[in-house]
């Protein structure tokens, strides 16, 4: 990691843009799928249903109906079906480029394009939760997305508790390339102990997942860990509202 990159990360992390004191009086978890690979719905949907878990899908319009690098992405019907089943559709930009390398005007236009494309498929639904493509934010993109969306999630690991940064929510990976159920267990315990909000993220789900995805067994194990700690799994927008306003959506 270069010096500029480290400096950028440092400034972005410190930027007190949307910090809030969490008002959670219980622990919560959010399961999030980045890019919305089709299997995150077709394979993961039935598993989540067994646990009564509802997820957030951070969808990028460019991937709609596309197969790329061996991954089939969501189509319009997947998007509608996941939404109908009570899962949240979040925003993940349209073009899925690294935000720090894109100008502000272009970033805003790209977010508009995504909102329009996905909103049209979903009959006017407004996307209020955002995840940075590749988890990469700069002070500029953090300010822009922090203003635009109720929350923005990165890929810095940790539990959101105490003072939380709504423009850079922490999230723990569920990844085949680095499968560490002990870390997820520890994070769940921490969330339980601190009335924290544990956000998990993954991509595709299948028997032979990409390095950034997981198997059905891994997803099941994560949901079993959360169930054992009695941590409800709710969409990001619901957890956000409860953490900020103290209102329970379910």
Nearer to Zn ion, 154 or 232 (CB): 154
Would you give the DSSP letter of residue 126? P
Nearer to Zn ion, 133 or 213 (CB): 133
For 172-197, b where at least 16 C-beta lie within 10 A, e where not — what string?
bbbbbeebeeeebbebbbebbebbbb
Q: How far is CA 70 from CA 74, 92, 146, 201, 211, in A?
A: 13, 20, 33, 20, 12
Nearer to Zn ion, 154 or 196 (CB): 154
* Binding segment (CB under 5 A) for Zn ion, from list 31-39, 74-82, 97-105, 144-152: 31-39
> CB 212 → Zn ion: shortest distance, Å?
9
Q: The dihedral of CA 76, 32, 174, 148: what is its sign?
A: positive
* Binding segment (CB under 5 A) for Zn ion, from list 2-10, 131-139, 155-163, 213-221: 131-139
Q: Does 136 bind Zn ion (CB under 5 A)?
A: no
> CB 34 → Zn ion: shortest distance, Å?
4
CA distance 15 to 1: 20
> CB 197 → Zn ion: shortest distance, Å?
21
Quick one: which of 18, 34, 197, 200 contacts Zn ion (CB under 5 A)? Answer: 34
- How many Cβ atoms are within 10 Å of 42's Cβ, its own excluded? 16
Nearer to Zn ion, 12 or 210 (CB): 210
Interface with Zn ion (CB under 5 A), residue total 3
Which residues are near Zn ion by CB under 5 A? 34-35, 133
């Amino acid at each position: 990691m270069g010096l500029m990159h480290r400096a950028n990360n440092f400034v972005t992390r410190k930027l007190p843009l949307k910090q809030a004191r969490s008002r959670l009086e219980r622990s919560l978890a959010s399961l999030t799928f980045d890019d919305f690979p089709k299997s995150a719905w077709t394979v993961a949907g039935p598993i989540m249903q067994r646990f009564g878990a509802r997820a957030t899908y951070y969808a990028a319009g460019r991937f709609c109906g596309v197969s790329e690098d061996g991954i089939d992405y969501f189509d319009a019907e997947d998007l509608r079906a996941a939404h109908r089943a009570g899962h949240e559709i979040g925003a993940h930009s349209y073009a899925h480029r690294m935000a720090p390398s894109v100008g502000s005007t272009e970033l805003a236009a790209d977010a508009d394009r995504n909102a329009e494309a996905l909103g049209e498929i979903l009959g006017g639904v407004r996307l209020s939760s955002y995840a940075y493509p590749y988890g990469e934010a700069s002070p500029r993109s953090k300010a822009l997305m922090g203003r635009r969306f109720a929350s923005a999630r990165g890929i810095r690991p940790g539990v959101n508790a105490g003072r939380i940064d709504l423009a850079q929510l922490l999230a723990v990976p569920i990844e085949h390339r680095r499968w560490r159920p002990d870390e997820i267990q520890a994070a769940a315990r921490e969330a339980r102990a601190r009335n924290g909000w544990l956000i998990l993220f993954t991509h595709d789900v299948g028997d032979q997942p990409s390095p950034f995805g997981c198997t059905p067994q891994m997803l099941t194990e994560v949901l079993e860990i959360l169930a054992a700690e009695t941590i409800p799994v709710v969409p990001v927008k619901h957890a956000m509202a409860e953490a900020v306003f103290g209102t329970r959506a379910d």
